[in-house]
Structure 1
Amino acid sequence: MTTAAVTTTIDARYGEPGAEPMSWPETEALFASAPLYWVSTIHTTGRPHVAPLVGVWHDDAFHLTVGPGEQKALNLVRDPRIAVTTGRNDWDSGTDVVLEGAAHRVTDHDALTAIAAAYFGKYGDAWRFEVGEGGFGIADEFAWVFRIPPRKVLVFAKQPHGQTTHRFG
């Protein structure tokens, strides 16, 4: 559970009468349990770059892995701003969540070991990582790990429709 100060509000302009804000613990659990995420970064040309990937919520932040030569990595090195989205493509059911923050590389061996364990705990053998020097794996299989603590999280609930905002700091 996040230990940072969280301010939660609901924006009545974007919801139905009677919609209640989703609490941060509920939002955090929903986001953490998602099997797939879409990350939006800023391409070196300034245009958006969006890609699906797996990731884990660990130690009050979202974590993702990416090869050093992938577009996502190049974008994050240049500009760490990122949005991470998960949810359903249904209009009348489910809940969508958007996390906004800044990505920072994780290179500490103990932190990487804990993040690798979180991936294994969530995804099993399909996402078992070996910790290398400054990331996961070695040689052609090497991946950087990024940590994205939330600055703002938007929750788009359905039935009833409502927009909750969680702000951190």
Structure 2
Amino acid sequence: MNEPITKIDPRFSDSDAVATSWDETRRVLETAEIFWISTVRADGRPHVTPLVAVWFDGAIYFCTGATEQKALNLRGNPHVILTTGCNHWDAGLDVVVEGDAVQLTDNDLLERLAEAWTTKWDGRWQYKVHNGVFQHEGSDTIPVFSVTPTKILAFAKGTFSHTRHQF
């Protein structure tokens, strides 16, 4: 992945704020335990739900049951926003990722991702790969999606700054 163009937006930042570095933003993406995904229903209404995901090789990867609302929404509209951060007003960093979700079917990549899930959560999330999807013990097939960011926003709190990482 290419390094993004990083700019602070002074309209929404404290006068003494500096742009959040790409390294700091990427660290939040790599270590986040929960993301919130926003998708669009067929009738145009938003749908928001939490999920676990991994940042891997410049993209966010997530999985969902084939009949879950977010999977149904993605069949009609691939545009998504994933957010992560904290619920503190005066400290922390919130990150918003915009892009399109693309379903993966490459077994080699899925094997690497299954290992990434296992590693990130100390074995609490373990998937097997079969015919281009994940399988979890006792579950049906689980499609896996990637989101390569088109834009990432980082909102620093305390000394407030609004940083845009454009790809």
How far the C-alpha of 1:5 sits from its partner, in A, is 4.4
Q: List alignment gaps of at least 5 residues for structure 1.
A: none
1:123-142 pair list within 5 angstroms: 123-137=121-135, 140-142=139-141
Amino acid at match of 1:115: L
Helix, strand or coil: the match of 2:87? coil
Aligned to 1:12: 10
How far the C-alpha of 1:124 sits from its partner, in A, is 2.2
Across the two proteins, how many residue pairs are aligned to each other? 166
CA distance, structure 2, for counterparts of residue 103 and residue 147 of structure 1: 5
Aligned to 1:155: 154
Aligned to 2:67: 69
Aligned to 2:94: 96
CA distance, structure 1, for counterparts of residue 41 and residue 57 of structure 2: 28
Amino acid at match of 1:156: F
Amino acid at match of 1:120: T
How far the C-alpha of 1:123 sits from its partner, in A, is 0.8
How far the C-alpha of 1:15 sits from its partner, in A, is 1.0
CA distance, structure 2, for counterparts of residue 54 and residue 151 of structure 1: 20
How far the C-alpha of 1:13 sits from its partner, in A, is 0.5
CA distance, structure 2, for counterparts of residue 44 and residue 167 of structure 1: 29
CA distance, structure 2, for counterparts of residue 114 and residue 140 of structure 1: 20
How far the C-alpha of 1:140 sits from its partner, in A, is 3.9
Please identify runs of 4+ aligned residues in structure 1 that moved more than 6 A: none
Aligned to 1:112: 110
Question: After superposition, what is the alpha-carbon deviation per residue over 1:108-164, rounded to whole angstroms, capped at 9, x for unaligned?
Answer: 000000110110110122201001111101784310000001100000001200000
Helix, strand or coil: the match of 1:103? strand
CA distance, structure 1, for counterparts of residue 77 and residue 154 of structure 2: 25
Aligned to 1:45: 43
- Residue 84, structure 1, aligned to residue 107, structure 2: no
Q: List alignment gaps of at least 5 residues for structure 2.
A: none
Give TM-score, length-normalised by structure 2: 0.96
CA distance, structure 2, for counterparts of residue 26 and residue 160 of structure 1: 15
RMSD: 1.2
CA distance, structure 2, for counterparts of residue 53 and residue 160 of structure 1: 29
Aligned to 1:166: 165
Helix, strand or coil: the match of 2:112? helix
More helix per residue: 1
Helix, strand or coil: the match of 2:15? coil
Give TM-score, length-normalised by structure 1: 0.95
CA distance, structure 2, for counterparts of residue 45 and residue 4 of structure 1: 36
CA distance, structure 2, for counterparts of residue 155 and residue 17 of structure 1: 17
